[in-house]
Amino acid sequence: MDAGIELSGVEFVVQGKTILHGVSLSLTARRVGIIGRNGSGKTTLLRLIAGLVAPTSGTLRVAGRDPARERQAMLAEIGILFQNPEHQIIFPTVEEELTFGLHQMGRADEAAARVQAMLAAEGRAHWAGAPVSALSQGQKQWLCLMAVLLMAPRRLLLDEPFAALDLPTQARLRRRLADLPQQIITISHDPEAVADCDRVIWIEAGTVAMEGAPEAVLPAFRAEMTRLGEADADTDLPR
Ligand SMILES: Nc1ncnc2c1ncn2[C@@H]1O[C@H](COP(=O)(O)OP(=O)(O)O)[C@@H](O)[C@H]1O
Ligand SMILES: [Mg+2]
């Protein structure tokens, strides 16, 4: 059976600095939230799960595979939405961007038809030839989501998916995500973004500070963030 995402003693060191300290997690819930303040290691964790970097020590498995070594197999297992769509989009037009993933998966023959069908289903057939530069930030994020969904991965990893969106666009994205059959792992500094998750993991300074239902974890997280704010701590800069 699908073994999900399993981390055991995962440590990640870059430039002599330890960013994750022996993180052990089993991410099996349908909707998982990973919360923590800026610089706590959330995006690093996402990059490890996606196989973009390998742990310095410890083991990490996605559906029983090592994501850093089996990048091709990961295309069907994991889709990522980076925090900034500008860092994700490669091609000048919507159609080229959407077609790319299917080409990578060796399904070039069906790519054009699938892209047309997806755009039509989303009510955006007129986007096909549009230059990506003409899209707003929210539309670029939507494009990235469509590109990922075309590849039909089993899980989605979303890094601060709501951070750059206005409120109506946030609401629309929330509704779209709620309907998806995939496992979704949402990473955010904002407790609101993970309030509907089945399980929440609070990461603090590269370790798991707390794990459980959102009703248990989020009040504790908010209380700690309020305490830090009152202490006027500069929460953003590394020590
Ligand atoms: N490639 C890197 N080189 C050096 N430091 C890094 C690198 N990537 C991340 N860091 C540091 O690791 C810490 C965690 O970063 P990150 O995972 O981006 O946190 P978050 O997503 O929670 O804000 C930060 O202190 C950041 O400066
Ligand atoms: Mg981050």
What's the 117 CA to ligand 1 centre distance in angstroms?
Answer: 39
Separation CA 117–CA 153 (nearest Å): 18
What pTM was computed for the model? Answer: 0.90
pLDDT above 90 coverage of the chain, percent: 67
166-192 pLDDT tens trace: 888 888 889 989 999 999 999 999 999
Question: How far is residue 239 from each of residues 17, 40, 101, 234, measured CA to CA in Å?
Answer: 11, 12, 39, 10
- Average model confidence (pLDDT) across the chain: 91
- pLDDT tens-place string over residues 45-67: 999 999 999 999 999 999 999 99
Residue 206 near ligand 1, beta carbon < 6 Å: no
> How confident is the model over 72-88, as pLDDT tens digits?
899 999 999 998 888 88
What is the 3 state secondary structure string of 170-204? HHHHHHHHHCCCCEEEEEECCHHHHCCCCEEEEEE
Ligand found nearest the CA of 159:
2
What pLDDT, on the 0 to 100 scale, is given for residue 238? Answer: 60
- Ligand 1, atom nearest to 47 Cα: 17
pLDDT score for 12: 98
Those residues with Cβ within 8 angstroms of residue 1's Cβ, 6 or more apart along the chain or in another chain: none
More confident position, 35 or 231:
35
Which of 13, 15, 44 maximizes ligand 1 atoms within 8 Å of its Cβ, making it the mutation to test the pocket?
44
Q: Are 101 and 148 in contact (CB under 8 A)?
A: yes
Would you state the pLDDT for residue 9?
97
Cβ 40 under 6 angstroms from ligand 1: yes
Ordered structural domains, the chain, with CATH:
5-230 (3.40.50.300)
Q: How far is the CA of 107 from the centre of ligand 2 (A)?
A: 32
Read off the pLDDT of each residue in 146-155 and give the average, rounded to a whole number: 92
